[in-house]
Structure 1
Amino acid sequence: MSFLEFPIKRYQFTLVAFAMLVALGISSFLSIPRQEDPYFPIPIYQIVVAYPGAEPRDVERLVVKPIEDRINELDDIKKIESFSNDGLAMMVVEFYSTADAEKKYDEVVREINALRPSLPTEIARLEIKKSNPGLVNIVQFALVSPDAPYRELEDQARDLKDMLKAVDGVRTSETWAYPARELRVALDLPRMAELRLAPSRVIEALQSENTTVPGGAIDVGSRSFSLKTSGSYESLDEVRDTVVAAVDGRTVRIRDVAEVQWDTQEHTYIGRFNGQRAVFVTANQKDGYNIFEVRERILEAAKKFEQQLPKRIKLELGFDQSQNVATRLNRLTTDFAIAIGLVAITLLPLGLRAASIVMISIPLSLAIGVSTLHMVGYSLNQISIAGFVVALGLLVDDSIVVVENIARFLREGHSRTQAAILATRQIFLAILGCTATIIFAFLPLMMLSGPSGKFIRVLPTAVLSTVLASLLIALTIIPFLASRILSKNENPEGNRLLQSVQRGIHRFYQPLLHRALAKPRLTVWGSLAACFVIMIGVGGIIGFSLFPKADTPNFIISVETPGGSSLAETDRALKFVEARLSAMPEVASYFTNLGHGNPKIYYNEFGNEGATNYGDIFVKLKEYDTSDTPKKLEQLRRELKRYPNAHIYVKEFQNGPPITAPIAIRVIGSELDELDRLAARVEQLIKETPGTRDVENPVRIKRTNLQLKIDSQKAALFGVPALEFDRAVRLAVAGIPASRYKETDGEQYDIMVRTPITERASIHALDQVRVTTLSGATLPLSQLAELQFIAVHRRTHTDRSIQPCARGHDQC
């Protein structure tokens, strides 16, 4: 008994297999994880370093270069790319895709930790972030209040974060858009001058007292006890009672020369929701979970949290990724229904019975495809759903051919069993070859390398598994069903509809076919020319792009004011954008981020990590219409372009790997002044090119900074070391972190030593800064130094993957 005869003659086995496939498909569809993007680790890591107050050249020299040199010693490095801005460095380390992502992450963390003691102590933040398309926030809440203090909003945000972290399926939760809390030690400089104490003595005392060093274990008789020598602070009174020095036989404590209290750091990230002051809370999802189930558990936790909120604070859910996933699944359902309808219409000439048999192959093939994805560890996401949509147009071909051929054999007088066997055997090689052609068309996508290949691999997997399933069904299930369902007594000429179709074939198609076969060359070249004309014509209408738009009802508006702009200046531009958004009825809600980018909510969008001249607005639309929405966004671009003192960009989300821009031109060299000149020329050429927009040149305008010019001769006469100038200014303007204060709930806060001159000190306030001589006396800063305005490069960029040309070569 052959393979083709077995499912027809051993119908009991076929029925059991059919039922098992249906059950497997239903089980897999219900249990397969659902998320917006595929989840897989990529050996690409982002290193973010915040170095407040440093200009780009200092950031590159003191932070970026040492880290690059250390990381470059690792194996399998493909590229190291770094950006140095005012007070901020961002490095992207990429290894070859064959490297183990988790192992390389551990190596990067190890090297950074080993290098950390040699980096500047003023570094406020150093983070190493993994890259993974699935590591995006699935919800973003806003705690909105016009009058609640930030400390209360922070406490509520932390409580919500802790509740969300306890939800099954949530990987982690974070809080955003409020000033960090600190334990401030505000020095009394006149009092310290009387006691001849330098600020460094206070910093050293805090560092020494707030250190935990276990003493070890001591045996006392039959017992062993752990010996504790000193410990960390447990209350503010302990900080106040810290001994600084002994002066004239009297003990001087922190409380004698400083005021110790809880305070907040400078506002560097301010958030608003729909124009109202707010802080944000986000949560992302673990791999292998269903986003709809996780969402329900998150909303249940948020509902309980909302019940305990004070009336002046309102909880808003501004972003819910599950809505985008549901939209894509609904599209798949719609396409599924369209496919069923088209199959029914196509097979009406063969009768309703034949159409119903073929329609069974569609859900059964999809069920096997979903089961295959589930078994190999994939999820239902936007890429796999796109694969199933593509497969819908392919999976019925084999079944249609088999059913039509079986019906033809029945009309010729064969029995149902004979017709099923003979018809399937006759076209076995034909449908096998057709299916192989489809498989070979998608196999190259399976072999793509790099992160892009990993990202797209689920699409050909979905297509191939579904098409192979359709081939198996067409050779087994479909003949069995046809041998049981199709009518025994078929009219040799078919029904009236089939007769009409055949008359049309003989009248129109047959003469045309004969003419085409008579002139094969003309037919081939004419077909190619027609395909080319149609492709160019349709492409000119719908346009060309490397990667399609995401078609999600979300977009980002980024705002960048000139380098050196204050938060207030950037906020004015953001409020201009907010006013335009408030007038758009299509907008459902929006998150405003001043001084920082919005938390990550799409896999290839990375927000700015912090700059006073940057802000963005994450906008959610009520719905996305593929024809109307782009027109509305283009109109919005024209309106926002009128703002005179900022670059405002409207960016729709797109699929594909993260890129700087569709067209990015880099001018490479070592002389920054010459690079600035060439970059300005390139910028002008691009702007003059028709069809370009959003042309950005990060070094177009140099930033003006202040430089402290020290009179070295006077400083030497008074015995003031150069380091004392830097420390005095830093203490007055930004403060110096002395240690970390740990609360009982595990939260840690900086102990910042400051002077009363803080919070964006003005030039006149710097006149109050005093420096300490070696003898302990203090002198006004203005007696030994003066401030000067200087122009600096506001941004530098290095790329270790770009090698300069060798001497003597013209091709660069």
Structure 2
Amino acid sequence: MGSVAPSQERTSLMINYIDTAVARSRTTLSVFVAIMLTGFASYLAIPVELNPDVDVPIIVTTIIHEGISPEDAERLLAKPAELELKTLDGITQISSFSSENAATIITEFDIDFESSTALADVREAINRSKARFPQNTEEPLITEVSAAELPIVQIAIGGEGVAERVLLRIAEELQREIEILPTVLEAAMVGNREEMLEAVIDPAKLETYGIPNSAIVQAVTSNNRLIPAGQVDTGQGSFSVKVPGLIENANDLFDLPLASSGDGVLTVSDIADVRRTFKDATRYAFANGSSSISLNVMKRNGANLVEAMTQVDAVVNEIRPTLPPAVSV
């Protein structure tokens, strides 16, 4: 009795499949159309992602304490947290680095970790270590690492010789327009400095009027707050009453009274010059070698990447003709 070669057997089986499909052509076409429609529907439903939302077995903890040195941050913040984290199961590595004002601990888990359970365990361990932290330490920030949290695009606003305040106004306007898009989660600003009012006090005038420094600090602190005054019931309804006391512009600070006598009222403008300025920079952004302000645009979870990029491009192209000639985006 002769034997059939495996290749011949596979060929014969394939021919039988083809003959069956041809003999039942309507069934074959129906199955083919159903597969095509299912694939097309899946293509429309699946979001396009630059960085798919993959669970990364890493949890980052940031502990902030203003004014602490890197050495003290390691000894007083990082070490107590590491000791508690080492008691958790499933951890493969714990690394930390300390800097001015903060300590950061990176906890790596096994690849088969459950993100919700791991996050709860880390939070519980950090809560236990908080008893060893110095006073005035801020609440630790515990976040998961996710590829989906990376920005989809970075927009830099800059220009050679352009005033910082002009760049800030343009960046704020562009940020507002982008963040109202339905596919955008946020457009975080990088490289900007917060505006502030700076009072330059004349020591000679301060001594002449006999006003101590503490009186100026107390006057600004006491008059820069919003005081709720309760509610007024009119019989047909009620409304809240607030006493406006916030310093919103330079004139509010200029007219702030410090002392009074029979000759008149002494205000801040009598002993100091008030000017608008910026806080010291903590982060910088550069584009093409010049200082700039950047917007890191992040899309919403599940939003289509192509659609989000198209909407952001439309906003940028719409605002670009209104910019000063020296400003580039």
Quote the offset at 1:147 in angstroms: 0.8
Does the residue aligned with 1:100 lie in a helix, a strand or coil?
A: helix
Corresponding residue number in structure 1 for 2:302: 288
Partner in structure 2 of residue 98 of structure 1 = 114
Unaligned runs of 5+ in 1: 316-812
Q: How does 1:559-578 map to 2 (within 5 A)?
A: none
**Deviation digits for residues 621-678 of structure 1, max 9, x if unmatched?**
xxxxxxxxxxxxxxxxxxxxxxxxxxxxxxxxxxxxxxxxxxxxxxxxxxxxxxxxxx
Instruction: Say yes or no: does 1:157 pair with 2:174.
Output: no
The residue aligned with 2:7 is: none
Tell me how far apart the structure 1 counterparts of residues 183 and 108 of structure 2 sit (CA, whole Å): 29
> Relative contact order, CA 8 A, sep 6+: which one is greater?
2
TM-score (norm 2): 0.72
For residue 135 of structure 1, the aligned residue among 149, 153, 166 is: 149
Residue 227 of structure 1 deviates from its aligned partner by 3.0
Question: 1:102: how far off?
Answer: 11
Q: Matches of residues 417-496 of structure 1 in structure 2 within 5 Å?
A: none
Question: What CA distance in whole angstroms lies between the structure 1 residues aligned with 2:297 and 2:206?
Answer: 47
Change (3 A) 1:230 1:106: farther
Paired residue type of 2:275: Q
Counterpart AA for 2:286: R
Conservation of the 8 A alpha-carbon contact between 2:59 and 2:142: no
Asked whether the equivalents of residues 164 and 173 of structure 1 are also in contact (C-alpha less than 8 Å), the reply is yes
Secondary structure of 2:147 counterpart: coil
Amino acid at match of 1:45: V
Instruction: Tell me what 2:59 maps to.
Output: 44
* 1:619-658 alignment runs, 5 A limit: none
1:208 Cα deviation (Å)? 2.3
Q: Which residue of the partner structure matches residue 136 of structure 2? A: 119
1:359-758 matches, cutoff 5 A: none
Deviation at 1:178, TM superposition (A): 3.6
1:188 aligns with 2:205: no
Post-superposition Cα deviations, 1:105-137, rounded to whole Å, max 9, x if no partner, equal: 9969x97xx9999427xx9x9966552111111
Q: Secondary structure at the match of 2:199?
A: strand
8 Å CA contact 2:229, 2:243 repeated in 1: yes
Higher percent of residues as strand = 2
Greater helix fraction, Structure 1 or Structure 2: 1
Deviations 1:503-562 (A, max 9, x none): xxxxxxxxxxxxxxxxxxxxxxxxxxxxxxxxxxxxxxxxxxxxxxxxxxxxxxxxxxxx
Q: Does 1:302 align with 2:316?
A: yes
Q: Report how far residue 198 of structure 1 moved.
A: 4.1
> Which residues of structure 2 form unaligned runs of 5+?
1-16
Tell me, what secondary structure is at the counterpart of 1:37? coil
Residue in structure 1 matched with residue 186 of structure 2 by the alignment: 172
AA aligned opposite 1:179: R
**What letter matches 2:114 in structure 1?**
T
Larger Rg, first or second structure (1 or 2): 1
Structure 1 position 150, deviation (Å): 0.8
Give secondary structure in 2 for the equivalent of 1:314.
coil
Q: Are residue 238 (structure 1) and residue 243 (structure 2) matched?
A: no
Judge conservation of contact 1:76–1:99 (CA < 8 Å) in 2: no
Q: Distance in 2 between matches of 1:289 and 1:38?
A: 11
CA distance in 2, matches of 1:182, 1:50: 23
Conserved 8 A contact 1:213-1:229: yes
Alignment partner, residue 262 of structure 1: 276
Contact 1:45–1:105 (Cα < 8 Å) also in 2 = no
Q: CA deviation at 1:21?
A: 0.6
3-state SS, counterpart of residue 239 of structure 2: strand
Q: Is the 8 A contact 1:80 1:94 kept in 2?
A: yes
Q: Report the CA distance between 1:180 and its aligned residue.
A: 3.2
Question: Is the CA contact (8 Å cut-off) linking 1:41 and 1:101 kept in structure 2?
Answer: no
Q: Cα gap change, 1:6/1:126 in structure 2, threshold over 3 Å: closer, same or farther?
A: same
Query: For residues 105 and 154 of structure 1, what CA distance do their matches in structure 2 show?
Result: 41
Q: Deviation at 1:295?
A: 1.4
Q: 1-side partners of 2:118 and 2:242: how far apart?
A: 37
CA distance in 1, matches of 2:272, 2:141: 32
Change (3 A) 1:258 1:87: farther
Report if aligned partners of 2:119, 2:144 keep a CA contact under 8 Å in 1. Answer: no
C-alpha RMSD of matched pairs (Å): 4.3
- Cα distance change of structure 1 residues 258 and 292 upon mapping to structure 2, 3 Å threshold: same
Distance 1:227 1:62, change over 3 A: farther
Q: Cα distance 1:229–1:77, how it changes in 2: closer, same or farther (>3 A)? A: farther
Q: Quick one: distance in 2 between partners of 1:41 and 1:200?
A: 53
Give the drift of 1:307.
1.4
State the 1:155 CA deviation.
1.1
1:84 aligned onto 2:101? no
Q: 1:216 Cα deviation (Å)?
A: 2.7
| 8 Å CA contact 2:65, 2:136 repeated in 1 | no
The one of 123, 136, 145 aligned to 2:159: 145
TM-aligned CA deviation for residue 28 of structure 1: 1.8
Residue identity matched to 2:98: S
- Residues 165 and 173, structure 1, Cα contact 8 Å, conserved in 2: yes
